[in-house]
Amino acid sequence: MLLKLKNKEYLIVDEFKFKCSIGKKGLNSKKKEGDNCTPIGVFKIGKVYYRPDRVKKPDTILKTKIIKKNMGWCNDPYNKNYNKEIILNKKNKGEKLFRKNNVYDILIVIEYNTEKVKLFKGSAIFIHLTKNYKPTQGCIALKKNDLLILLKIIDKKSKIKIC
């Protein structure tokens, strides 16, 4: 199954058309860390993370993981764990997954720059929640109900095409 980002404001999956938001600076085939762009390409869909204190476990066949208070995602290109899940502490700094706002109550990892990680190429690219479709720092954001529907219809073989 292919998820296709179309016209920078819709994520299309089969007959479903979900309104979404993307990075503040649009799409870019030469994504760099901190550029506020959403990367162009075709990517695998990864794990689903969620906050059980705020949402029930999503109905999906994808692998799921509970977000804990000390969890983060490394966005430091100088760290050996760049673009991977980490435990946040004084030594490891990164994108906090357990947040006060609801943006990461449910998120899907987009497998961008995750296998053969290239430093400064960008990190923490997710499909996450939005309430107002404000531009992101490079992720794709959907309303909660749309993200829950998406999780029901995609599987481990699904890919996302961002163009």
Phi and psi at 14, nearest 5°, equal 50, -125
106-132 tens-digit pLDDT: 999 999 999 999 999 999 999 999 999
| The model's pTM | 0.95
Task: Provide the strand spans (E) within 14-131.
Answer: 16-19, 27-28, 38-39, 41-50, 64-66, 71-73, 85-87, 95-96, 106-110, 126-129
Q: Is the pLDDT of residue 22 over 90?
A: yes
Least confident of 1-5, 27-31, 131-135: 1-5
pLDDT band of residue 90 (cuts 50, 70, 90) is confident
Q: Can you list the domains of the chain with their CATH numbers?
A: 2-162 (2.40.440.10)
User: In 3-state terms, what secondary structure has residue 112?
Assistant: coil
Which tokens sit at 141?
Answer: 């954001």
